[in-house]
Amino acid sequence: MRVLPTLLLILAGVLVGGTWSLHKQGAPRAAVVLTGLLALLATAGGVLWLLPGES
């Protein structure tokens, strides 16, 4: 299941782009912050999944 962290990191990239786009368009702060937090969670999930651990 090595594809799941890759998908999470791809999702994180899309969310970061969406956050930037929302910010540039002058969207409400809550939408920008929420999208940014989702991007952060996706990034953390993808990176943490790749860390070595118990298998």
Please write the tens of the pLDDT for every residue from 15-25. 999 999 999 99
For residue 54, pLDDT beyond 80: no
Whole-number Å distance between alpha carbons of 9 and 40: 10
| Mean pLDDT for the chain overall | 94
Residue 53: inside a domain, yes or no?
Answer: no
Residue 55: inside a domain, yes or no?
Answer: no
Residue 42: inside a domain, yes or no?
Answer: yes
Whether residue 10 contacts residue 46, with contact meaning beta carbons closer than 8 Å, is answered with no
Element (H, E) at 27: none
Query: What total of structural domains would you count in the chain?
Result: 1
Residue 54: inside a domain, yes or no?
Answer: no
The range of the structural domain enclosing residue 39 comes to 3-46
